[in-house]
Amino acid sequence: MEEFISTSKRNYDGYYNQKVDELAKQALETLDIEKRKEIYKKLYQELSEAPPIIFLNNSKMVSTHHARIQGL
């Protein structure tokens, strides 16, 4: 999930959402597991409403191999 935090070095796509940043910070600072679950629930809801990535296609991958190759 680090790749969706705007200040992260792993945010290669440049995604910025202030609410996601705030919720991620809260989740990292919260020690109570139940509270953290609720924060992550809100965080994933926000990511589903404002997705960082939209897939434009669904390619099917075709794989072939020679009959002599075993264990694939």
Q: How far apart are CA 20 and CA 40, in angstroms?
A: 10
pLDDT computed for residue 61 by the predictor:
79
- Domain span at residue 31 reads 2-49
| Number of compact structural domains in the chain | 1
What pLDDT, on the 0 to 100 scale, is given for residue 36?
A: 97
The model's pLDDT over 8-62, given as tens digits with 9 standing for 90+, comes to 888 888 899 999 999 999 999 999 999 999 999 999 999 999 988 877 877 787 7
**Residue 56: inside a domain:** no
In a domain, 9, yes or no: yes
Q: How far apart are CA 17 and CA 59, in angstroms?
A: 29
| pLDDT exceeds cutoff 80 at 72 | no
Instruction: Specify if 17 maps to a domain.
Output: yes
- Listed in sequence order, the DSSP H helices in the chain are 18-29, 33-49
Residues 6+ apart with CB under 8 A from 21: 5, 6, 7
| 27 part of a folded domain | yes
